[in-house]
Amino acid sequence: MSISQLTSQLSNKRKKCVEARNKISGYAKTAADESSKAAKAAKAATRARQESARQRKMSEQQRHQKLANAALNNQASWQKKLSALESDVAKIEKKLDDAHIAESKKIAKETSRKIGAIEPVINVNAPLVDGDNYGNVAVGNNVTQSQTIIESSNEFEGLKDLLRDIVDRLDDLELTDIDKCDLRESVEEALNELQSEEPEPGRVHMAIRLIKRILTPIGSAAITGAATGTGTLVQQWITQLGQFC
C-alpha cells in the first residue's frame, strides 16, 4: 500500500477516534445528568414516602383524638347522670331516715299512751294491800295513787345479760346502719335504766318494744324458714324479751 493510501487511511481513523471520543463524552454527560436526575428523584420519592407516612400518622392521630373526644363526652354525660342518681339516693335516704324517726316516735307515743292508760284498781276505804308484782297501793279519800312495777333482782340480771348479748352480737346482725344505731341506743337506754337505783318500768318497756320491733324482720325469717345464721338466735331473743314486755 502506498504512502498516500496509508495517510488517507490514518486520517479517516483519526476522525473516527474523534467521533468516538465525542460520543463517549456525550454519553458520559448524559449518564451524569441522568444520575443526578435519578438522585433527585430518589430524594423526592423519600420525601413523598415521608409525607405519606406523616399523613398516615396524622390520620391515625386524628382518629384516636376523635375517639378520645367521644370518650370524654360520654364520661361527662355519665358524670351528669351519676350526680343526678346520687342526688336521688340522698333524697331517698333522708326520706327513709325521716320515716324511721317518725315510726320510732309513733311507737314511743303509743307505748306511752298505753302505759299511761293503765288504771290502778282502788278499793275505797280498804286497807293498804300488796299485789302480785306491784308495790304498795294506797287507797282512800284524797289519796294520791301511785303504782310501781317491781321485778325481782334475778329477773333484772337475766334481762341485763340478754341485752348485753344483743349488743355483743350487734355486728353479726343483718341490719342497716340506721337500725343498728337505733338498736344500740335502745339497748343502752334499757341497760342504763335497769342499772339505776330506781328503774322506771315504763322506760324499760318502751326500750324493749323498740328492740323487738327492730329485731322482728330477722326473727320472722327464722319462722318462715328463710333465716340466716343469726335468725334463730334473734327469734330466741324476741321470745325472751316478750317475757319482760
Q: Model confidence over 119-172: pLDDT tens digits? A: 443 333 333 333 334 344 444 444 444 343 434 556 678 889 999 999 999 888
pLDDT at 119: 40
Which stretches within the chain are classed as H helix?
3-116, 153-168, 177-194, 201-224, 231-242
Alpha carbon distance 187, 54 (integer Å): 76
pTM equals 0.39
Alpha carbon distance 62, 71 (integer Å): 14
What 3-state DSSP class applies to 103? Answer: helix
| pLDDT band of 33, cuts 50, 70, 90 | confident
Q: Model confidence over 58-85: pLDDT tens digits? A: 787 787 888 888 888 888 888 878 877 8
Count CB-CB contacts under 10 A for residue 108: 14
Q: Please answer whether residues 225 and 219 qualify as being in contact, where contact means their C-beta atoms are separated by less than 8 angstroms.
A: no
